[in-house]
Amino acid sequence: MLKGYWGKMRGVTKSPPRVGLQEVFWSWLGGFLGISAVAGGHFAFFEGTAFMLLIASFGASAVLIYGAPKSPLAQPRNLIGGHVISALIGVTMLKLCGPLIWLAAALAVSLSIAAMHATKTLHPPGGATALIAIIGGPKIQQLGYLYVLLPVASGILIMLLIALLINNLIPTRRYPEFWL
């Protein structure tokens, strides 16, 4: 039995093939334009204010929606649902177990994973969005539930718009695979 346990760690197959150079370029372009839009918006409208449009987990979403747009993890349902649900859970955990940051963080991420699974919205960057609600600093903590709408929902909608525009311009791509 123990042999089987260690044996499982060997892996069973090969890593999938590398994508073509064109694909690399399109992924780069999508990532550049998508993050430009939210980062540009952030510095144009919210710099020096109490609000923001850009958080780190958008970088992770960019990998999925511009780099692996066929993945179920990258579809609009997952992108929006994953971030919004995780943001809600993150803010709620901060409010519930405020001083115990480690517990708030662990609960926020783990509950987000569970909730995303349960709602068919699994989107890995959602875990980061939940975590950022707790360890993102005083500015984010002060947003309270506004965090869910701005930056999270607003920023992610801009990223989604860019993904729709860019991915469908590319001959070998289409996006999304499904909406709901």
Examine residue 174 and tell whether it contacts another protein (CB under 8 A): yes
Among 9, 178, 179, 180, the residue binding another protein under the rule CB under 8 A is 178
Alpha-carbon separation of residue 20 from 27, 70, 168 (angstroms): 11, 15, 18
Of 49-57, 87-95, 101-109, 172-180: span binding another protein (CB under 8 A): 172-180
Report whether 113 contacts 128 (CB < 8 A). no
Tell me phi and psi for residue 125, to 5 degrees: -60, -20
Report whether 122 contacts 64 (CB < 8 A). no
Short-list 135, 126, 150, 75, CA closest to 105:
135
Give the shortest CB-167-to-another protein separation in angstroms: 8
Examine residue 36 and tell whether it contacts another protein (CB under 8 A): no
Examine residue 173 and tell whether it contacts another protein (CB under 8 A): yes
- Total of chain residues touching another protein, rule CB under 8 A: 15
**x/- contact string, 98-137, with another protein (CB under 8 A)?**
-------------------x----x---------------
Nearer to another protein, 97 or 164 (CB): 164
Q: For the purposes of burial, counting CB atoms within 10 Å of the CB of 32, is it exposed (0-12), middle (13-18) or buried (19 or more)?
A: middle
Contacts to another protein by CB under 8 A: 70-73, 117, 122, 168-174, 177-178
